[in-house]
A and B are shown apart, each in its own frame.
Chain A
Amino acid sequence: MVSARYFDGKTAAAQAVSLSLDAQDIVLRSADFELRWPLQQVNISERLGNTPRLLNYAGGGHCEVTDHAALDAMLAQLGTRRSWLDGMQHSLAWALLAAGLFVLALLAAYRYLLPWGAEVIAMRLPESVLQKMGSSTLETLDKFVLQPSKLDMARQQQISAEFARLNAPSAAQLHYHIVFRSSPDIGANAFALPDGNIVLLDELVGLTKDDNEIIAVLAHERGHVERRHAMRMVLQSSVVGLVLAWYVGDVSSLLASAPAIIMQAKYSRDMESEADDYAGQTLKLNALSPCLLASILDKLEAAQLAKAAEKEHTASAGKTHEVMDYLSSHPATREREQLLCPSKSPQ
């Protein structure tokens, strides 16, 4: 006997009934009436947490049952088995397993799907978009961190000409141009803008006597452009920002994008290796040794570390932190040098 509340579907009145089985029928009994519902015409709702279970009769009317144990006992007599989904939905073990798989799927999407998508899109972007991104980035940088180069014209032209002579492993997709600047704040560095402009800082030029080492860095930066790394980074971080914002609801995008940017570090490591690869190929193609890049990387790291130490000493905040973060996202320089120049014994 299962106690239930019966509704006839015609009015909202509730009537207390008791349910029992009789052959192929469910029998509803109250003080005033008795109803017989053939089992085939009764849809018994699945278990869903602790919600009342509903017995819907095709001929109209339904019963609401809150006594789960009694109903389960009655259904057991019928030999009805709980579905696999029913079991899964109510088991802690399955819930934890599903939660684990869900987190894994999330991480996998972040690690593989997102970079893939960003690459697909970045490679198909029209040049005009890249131009616009490049020029606006350079404008911003010029306004805040970059200063005009102090190198004389002849020296600038010499470096540009050496770079222009370089044979590339694949047909160039963009027009490359070296933008000479200086920046005591950033120190020795060079970076590629999405439109093919490569910003070369005086501080880096002053770091080496061997122009081929400068060429090696430029080839590395060119690799970044060819593979659309800057564009991919922007796409990836804006997608992560969007997803987080959607996920979290209506938080300011600030809150959403901060973790996104921090998480980006892993990508730029992959990208650095890609650019190293590209530079290595370019150098070999031009009868230059990839060790040149390894050598300048070594000097760059030493210069940046010295700068960091000095900055820490003067305890100035702000821009330097970004530079440090940028540095920390490079794969261990030793590792990169080993890959580029295996003959050079590790220090």
Chain B
Amino acid sequence: MQMQQQQEHAFEFTGNGWEYFKIWIVNLLLSILTLGIYSAWAKVRRLQYFYRNTRLADASFDYHGTPKAILKGRIIAFIMLTVYSVTIRVNPLLGITIALMIAVVMPWLIVRSLRFKLYNSSYRGLRFAFAGSDAAAYTVFLLFPILSVVTLYLLMPFTHQRIKQYQHCNSQFGDTFFNFDAPVKSFYGIYLKVLGMFVGLAILAGIFSVAGLPFMLILLPVVFLFIMAYMAVSLPNLIWNATTLGEHTIHSNLKVRPYLWIGFTNLLGIVFTLGLFIPFATVRMLRYKLENMSLTAMGDLGKFVAGQAQATSAVGEETAEMFDVDISL
């Protein structure tokens, strides 16, 4: 029998800020001039730019969503949003009913959204796919969140773990499934640390409210941003390090200080350029995230085989986006 050869592949991001700026600004202007219609084309181009610049083991990812599918999804989502905001003004009771209905269909929409997103992603000519069932989606996206609210968020880390488990274990590349085995207690560990830091922040605030306002105005936001960066770094690390694809393992090694620095300078850049820094900021952050991810391949990456995923409409994806549901993987 042949020995499995273990090889480490780093993710690479080859995009750069100026290049993306040129694409971004032209597409943004066209989107404004066409009152938003062109934004579907802009979205495809944006994702293609990011996917194709993401390289692993000397091959690129690609995005296959079509502008027309996305535009159709957006129009339907826009109509739903308009109907909702008009009815809630005219008849609050009916509006609340519609809001409840939307909450009830949301898990269903999220499944469609994940299907659309993954089906339209490819690497080395093979599509990704999402095979999660609707029933399980209702458990993790509706039942658990309700339970977590009822228990005063005691179940929130548990819910988070179950959501990620549902998402990752049902994702596939070609016909190979991803797996996810982070234990619930590791989620509780991070959430407890964050809680502890917030308690510390409250104590600091107490001390400094005595010492004087200037300290408070400078120090507290810094500590607050640090906590947010800690969360933004440790959760993806936990999630990706617990994710495997077949025999191949994925690693994420983000660190708080560089993340905080990039995030903070991005924020300043965006504020002081009326938003024109956004493309540079996006590229910087994405590059940092991707370049700290890697994949340890057991044997040949070329051995994956295509699956039978089916195309889906973009309605779920666009609706979820318009109602601000973040389901980034």
Contacts and interface: CB of A to CB of B under 8 A. Distances in A.
B94 interface: no
Interface of A: 5, 7-14, 45, 48-52, 54, 61-62, 64, 85, 88-92, 94-95, 98-99, 101-103, 105-106, 247-252, 255
A179 to B, nearest CB: 32
Contact of B22 (A8, A92, A101): A92
Contact of B123 (A12, A90, A249, A251): A12
A12 B125 contact: yes
Contacts of A50: 14-16, 19, 53
Given A14-B58, A51-B49, A91-B22, 12 more contacts: A7-B124, A11-B126, A12-B302, A48-B49, A50-B19, A51-B53, A94-B26, A102-B28, A103-B276, A248-B271, A250-B228, A255-B271
B125 A7 contact: yes
Contacts of A92: 22
A8 B23 CA distance: 30
Contacts of A102: 25, 28-29, 32, 276
Interface of B: 14-16, 19-23, 25-29, 32, 45, 48-49, 52-53, 58-60, 62, 123-126, 174, 221, 228, 267, 270-271, 274-276, 300-306
A8 B306 CA distance: 10
B59 A247 contact: no
B16 to A, nearest CB: 8
Given A7-B124, A11-B302, A49-B19, A99 B53 contact: no
A61 B20 contact: no
Contact of B125 (A61, A90, A106): A61
A97 to B, nearest CB: 9
A188 B300 CA distance: 83
A252 B221 contact: yes
B52 A51 contact: yes
23 contacts: A5-B59, A10-B305, A11-B174, A11-B304, A11-B305, A12-B125, A12-B302, A12-B304, A13-B300, A13-B302, A13-B303, A14-B59, A14-B124, A48-B45, A48-B52, A49-B23, A51-B53, A89-B23, A89-B26, A95-B22, A95-B26, A247-B270, A251-B267
B27 A64 contact: no
A85 B305 contact: no
A98 B26 contact: yes
B22 A14 contact: no
Nearest to A251: B267
B29 A101 contact: yes
A91 B32 CA distance: 19
Given A49-B19, A51-B60, A94-B22, A12 B27 contact: no
A104 to B, nearest CB: 10
Contacts of A49: 15-16, 19-20, 22-23, 49, 53
A98 B59 contact: no
A11 B303 contact: yes
Nearest to B25: A98
Contacts of B271: 248, 251, 255
Nearest to A91: B22
B52 A52 contact: yes
Contacts of A94: 22, 26
A33 to B, nearest CB: 16
Contact of A9 (B53, B58, B125, B228): B125
Contacts of B22: 49, 89-92, 94-95
A8 B124 CA distance: 9
Which are the 4 A-B pairs with shortest beta-carbon distances?
Answer: A7-B125, A13-B302, A51-B52, A12-B304
Contacts of B48: 45, 48, 51
A147 B124 CA distance: 76
